[in-house]
Structure 1
Amino acid sequence: MFKNVIVKTPGESYVNGLTTSNLGTPVLDKAIEQHHSYIEALKTCGVEVTLLPGNADFPDSTFVEDTAVLTANFAVVTNPGAVSRNGEIIEMEPVLRKFYDNIYHIEAPGTLDGGDILQIEDYFYIGISVRTNYEGAVQLKQILEGENFKATIVELKEFFHLKTGITYLGEGTIVVAGEFVDHPVFNSYKKIVVPPEEEYAANCIRVNDYVIVPAGFPLTKQKIEDAGYKTIEVDTSEFRKLDGGLSCLSLRF
């Protein structure tokens, strides 16, 4: 069960954030409206929401997930792989210290984005991507194993982040798309397979009694509901334009 969530309002410079998509420039007012709906969905799930103000110095900083990896007993401050995002961790660490006494750090030249980290019970999967390098992945693996977790490093071939294509719903069930549908590392789990045309919907989040899903992907939503989960839809069109999804917008613990 999650008790707390940290989110950050899109700043005035959000429209200038990094992207690999060809979906157009985000509309700031619409992004802020969608972010508010996201917060309301989280509150419906029964968590306490800590809302941080936007910061125009960091256009991508609404994607707070990339700044930390959180467990029940300790936090790991990351070292984001995009140079323009490194300063985001300086803002985030004091916030985390309100909740955690035990904080680790990923040190350069290791890089690591939180979007590349998937926790399934006491097991962590660490993706190597354009933003997370091998040295950063090894550092995190050593931290986790020192805290009695298990960890496996997974090299990505297609997806931007690990969690772009996979979500853990609980009860041994994962939502998978693309390269993870037949990936041997994940074959021990029950799979809800996302059709190729709805690949974006693989990034959803289980928050207590609900699964928050992106709006506009009815086949995936139905599959999740057929598996016994209650869903809440949130429109994330303005975050998708900057490669962002539902998990990217919060730190949940």
Structure 2
Amino acid sequence: MFKNAIVRKPCPNMVEGITEANLGKPDYHKALLQHARYTGALRKLGLKIQVLEPDNRFPDSVFIEDVAVCTPYCAVITCPGAPSRRDEVSTIRDSIYSFYENVEQITEPGKLDGGDVMMAGTHFYIGLSGRTNKAGANQLIKILQQYNLSGSTVSLGEVLHLKTGISYLEKNNLLVSGEFIEKEEFRDFNKIIVPPEEAYAANCVWINGSVIIPAGYPVTQKNIEEAGYQTITVEMTEFEKLDGGLSCLSLRF
């Protein structure tokens, strides 16, 4: 069960964020509204929210998941793979230390984005991507082992981050799309398949028995509900333009 979340409001400079989506620049004011509704959904599901103010120095800082990995026993401040995001970690330290006694750090030459880390029980899957390298993954695995947790790597071929294409919904249920449907690493999970035309919906957020999903993906929503979950939909169009998904917008623990 999650009790807390940390979010950061979008900054006006988000329109200059990193993207390969080719969907146009986001509308900042619309993004603010969508972010407020996302935060409202987290609150509705029982989380206490720490809301950080926008930081215009870092266009992508609304995607707060990438700068830390939160576990039940420790938090790990990352070393983001994109050079423009490297200094974002300094903006999260105070918040992390206000919640955690045990705080670890990924250091160079390791690179690690939180969007490449998926927690499934006591095991953490770590995507090797353009943003996360083997050195960063190995550092995280070593840290996890200190807290009786485990980790393993997953190679990526088609997506930006691991959680772009896969979400753990607890109870051994895994929402999967594209390259992850047949991956050997996930053979023992109950798979909820996301159709290719709804691939963006593969990034969802399980919160205390319910699932927040992006609005506009009826097949995926139906599949999740038929698996026994209540769903909440949130518009994500402006964050999709920056290659961002639902999980990217918060740290949940």
Note the aligned Cα RMSD (angstroms): 0.6
Match of 1:99 in 2: 99
Deviating more after overlay: 149-158 vs 58-67: 149-158
TM-score calculated relative to the size of structure 1: 0.99
Q: CA deviation at 1:148?
A: 1.0
Deviations, residues 68-114 of structure 1 (Å, cap 9, x unaligned): 00011210000000011011110101110000111100001110000
Query: Is 1:175 aligned to residue 179 of structure 2?
Result: no
Secondary structure of the 1:65 match is helix
Q: Structure 1 CA distance, aligned partners of 2:111 and 2:93?
A: 17
Q: Unpaired segments of 5 or more residues in structure 2?
A: none
Query: 2:151 & 2:71 partners in 1: Cα distance?
Result: 14
Q: Find the counterpart in structure 2 of residue 51 from structure 1.
A: 51
In structure 1, distance between residues paired with 2:72 and 2:80: 22
CA–CA separation in structure 2 for the residues paired with 1:91 and 1:110: 19
Partner of residue 193, structure 2: 193
1:1-253 equivalences under 5 Å are: 1-253=1-253
Q: Secondary structure at the match of 1:101?
A: coil
Shift of 1:3: 0.3
* Runs of 5+ consecutive residues of structure 1 not aligned to the other structure: none
- 1:128-172 per-residue CA deviation (whole Å, 9 max, x = no partner) reads 000001110111011112211121111111111000010010110
Q: In structure 1, what is the Cα distance between the partners aligned to 2:66 and 2:153?
A: 17
What SS does structure 2 have at the residue aligned with 1:13?
helix
Q: Distance in 2 between matches of 1:107 and 1:63?
A: 20
| 2:249 partner letter | L
Mapped to 2, the partners of 1:45 and 1:115 lie a distance apart of 22
Deviations 1:37-57 (A, max 9, x none): 001111111000110000000
| Amino-acid identity (%) | 50
Residues in 1 aligned to 2:88 and 2:69: alpha-carbon distance in whole angstroms: 14
SS at match of 2:92: helix
Number of residue equivalences: 253
What amino acid sits opposite 2:29 in the alignment?
A: D
Secondary structure of the 2:12 match is: coil
Q: Residue 87 of structure 1 aligns to a residue in which SS?
A: helix
Aligned partners of 2:73 and 2:147 also within 8 Å? no
Q: Could you list the runs of 4 or more consecutive aligned residues of structure 1 that deviate by over 6 angstroms after TM superposition?
A: none
Tell me how far apart the structure 2 counterparts of residues 151 and 73 of structure 1 sit (CA, whole Å).
15
